[in-house]
Amino acid sequence: MARQPALKPHASPGATHRRVDGLDALRGLAVVAMVAYHFAFDLAYFRVTAQNFYRDPFWLHSRTAILSSFLLVAGVSLVLAQGTPQGRARFWMHVGRVAGCALAVTVGSYVMFPRSFIWFGVLHAIAVSLLLIRPLAGRPWIALALGIAIVAAGNLFASPAFDSRALGWIGFMTGKPITEDYVPLFPWAGVMLIGVAAGHALARRDFALLAPLARLPAFVHWLGRHSLAIYLVHQPLLLGALWIAVGVVTRYN
């Protein structure tokens, strides 16, 4: 059976939000890329491969592309949420879920990597950025200009005054801190602001640009609709599976 048109809102008569097939699929593709990246990272962590994720331009650019995808989609989704009858209540519920998951990531990463635990990663950045950016969700041109400025500042300016956890979450550190994931507001909040501008541009055309993505397999859409849960569980599952596999191979070789 053919999929429903990409632009059809997925909502029952009493629903409070809109789903866009193409946007779910785009988020799902970002999830696939994220899982593939982390699987490759985990292979290097267990010394199955010799990839350098901290210096190799391919992996550095891959991380940038994956992060940008999630933050751009978060900005577009914020625009969609603002247009719903109960957008405010849903917004605070969403921020609460993301913040709670960010805390879980910090605790979990501290257990596994106490020297390099995640103190301000992608979920922390999304939660804080949503709070700061929400007043601009209806002002696409301001969001676009400010977003470009924040991205530029985050890439061009650095100062030793920000080389601590107390201020490092803002950005402007002179070097990457020892942590498994670092996503400061400068430049990454700027990417979400650009996503807000993109959301308005897409909405004006009823998301027609994303229509081809609606033809992707259903599991890609499912991944996009459950991206937060998948983000939380995929690394423990990958690490656990590889730990068992490496242990078995080592034992019988």
**CB neighbours of 197 closer than 8 A, spacing ≥ 6?**
75, 140, 141, 143, 144, 147
Q: What is the mean pLDDT of the chain?
A: 89
**pLDDT value, residue 167:** 96
**CB neighbours of 91 closer than 8 A, spacing ≥ 6?**
78, 81, 130, 134
Residue found under tokens 């640009």: 209
- Between CA 109 and CA 236 the distance in angstroms is 10
- Between CA 250 and CA 64 the distance in angstroms is 34
Helix or strand (DSSP H, E) at 143:
helix 140-156
In the predicted model, is pLDDT for residue 3 greater than 90? no
**pLDDT value, residue 7:** 34
In the predicted model, is pLDDT for residue 13 greater than 50? no
Read off the pLDDT of each residue in 135-156 and give the average, rounded to a whole number.
Answer: 97
Beta bridge pairs of residue 120: 182
- Between CA 198 and CA 127 the distance in angstroms is 20
Q: What is the pTM of this model?
A: 0.88
b/e 122-154 (16+ beta carbons within 10 angstroms → b): bbbbbbbbbeebbebbeebeebbebbeebbeeb
| Residue type, position 134, single letter | R
**pLDDT value, residue 69:** 97
- Of 28-37, 76-85, 123-132, 228-237, the range with the lowest mean pLDDT is 76-85
Give 73-122 pLDDT, tens digit per residue. Answer: 999 999 988 866 666 778 889 999 999 999 999 999 999 889 999 999 99
Residue found under tokens 């190799």: 56
- Of 150-154, 157-161, 243-247, the range with the lowest mean pLDDT is 243-247
Give 183-233 pLDDT, tens digit per residue. Answer: 999 999 999 999 999 999 999 999 999 999 999 999 999 999 999 999 999
- Between CA 131 and CA 175 the distance in angstroms is 27
Taking the alpha carbons at both ends of the chain, their separation in whole angstroms is 49
Task: Determine what percent of the chain is predicted with pLDDT higher than 90.
Answer: 79
DSSP string, 161-172: GG-SHHHHTTS-
